[in-house]
Structure 1
Amino acid sequence: MKSIYKTTLLVGITILVSSCKDDLKPNYQYMPNMYESVSYNTYSQAEVFKGGKEGQLPVDGTINRGFEVYEYPDTPEALIAVKAANLKSPLGTLSEKDMEKAKALYEIYCAICHGNAGNGQGKLVTQGKFLGVPSYKDRVINEGSIFHVGTYGLNLMGSHANQLSKKERWMVAAYVMELKSKL
Structure 2
Amino acid sequence: MLAMNKIKILGTVVTIIAASMVFTSCKDKRSTGWEYAPNMYEHLAYDPDQKNPNFKDGKTAQVPPAGTTPIGFTRFDYPNTKEGYELASVEVKTVIAQTQANYAEGKVLFEHFCSPCHGVNGQGDGEVTKHGYPPPPSYSTGQSSRGGNMKDLTDGKIYHTITYGLNAMGSYASQLSPEERWKVVMYVHHLQTL
TM-score, normalising length: structure 2:
0.66
Say which of 145, 160, 164 aligns to 2:157.
145
User: Contact between 1:86 and 1:142, CA under 8 Å: does it hold in 2?
Assistant: no
User: Shift in Å at residue 36 of structure 1?
Assistant: 4.7
> What is residue 88 of structure 1 aligned with on the other side?
93
Q: How many pairs were matched up? A: 154
Say which of 68, 75, 98 aligns to 2:74.
68
Cα distance 1:88–1:32, how it changes in 2: closer, same or farther (>3 A)? Answer: closer
> What is residue 136 of structure 2 aligned with on the other side?
133
> What is residue 110 of structure 2 aligned with on the other side?
106
User: Shift in Å at residue 51 of structure 1?
Assistant: 3.9
Helix, strand or coil: the match of 2:192?
helix
User: Contact between 2:162 and 2:172, CA under 8 Å: does it hold in 1?
Assistant: yes
Distance in 1 between residues matched to 2:45 and 2:106, nearest whole Å: 49
Distance in 2 between residues matched to 1:48 and 1:125, nearest whole Å: 56
* Unmatched 5+ stretches in structure 2: 1-23, 25-32, 143-149
* Unmatched 5+ stretches in structure 1: 1-22
User: Contact between 1:86 and 1:143, CA under 8 Å: does it hold in 2?
Assistant: no
Q: Percent identity among equivalent residues?
A: 37
Say which of 48, 58, 75 aligns to 1:52.
58
> What is residue 12 of structure 1 aligned with on the other side?
none
RMSD (Å) for aligned C-alpha atoms: 3.1
Distance in 2 between residues matched to 1:32 and 1:48, nearest whole Å: 24
Helix, strand or coil: the match of 1:181?
coil
Of 44-53 and 147-156, deviating more is 44-53
User: Shift in Å at residue 170 of structure 1?
Assistant: 0.9
Cα distance 1:50–1:118, how it changes in 2: closer, same or farther (>3 A)? Answer: same
Distance in 2 between residues matched to 1:82 and 1:35, nearest whole Å: 50
User: Does 1:176 pair with 2:169?
Assistant: no
- Deviations, residues 24-81 of structure 1 (Å, cap 9, x unaligned): xxx999x987775579898564434324346422222222110011121222211122
Distance in 1 between residues matched to 2:44 and 2:96, nearest whole Å: 51
Distance in 2 between residues matched to 1:35 and 1:179, nearest whole Å: 56
Distance in 2 between residues matched to 1:35 and 1:127, nearest whole Å: 53
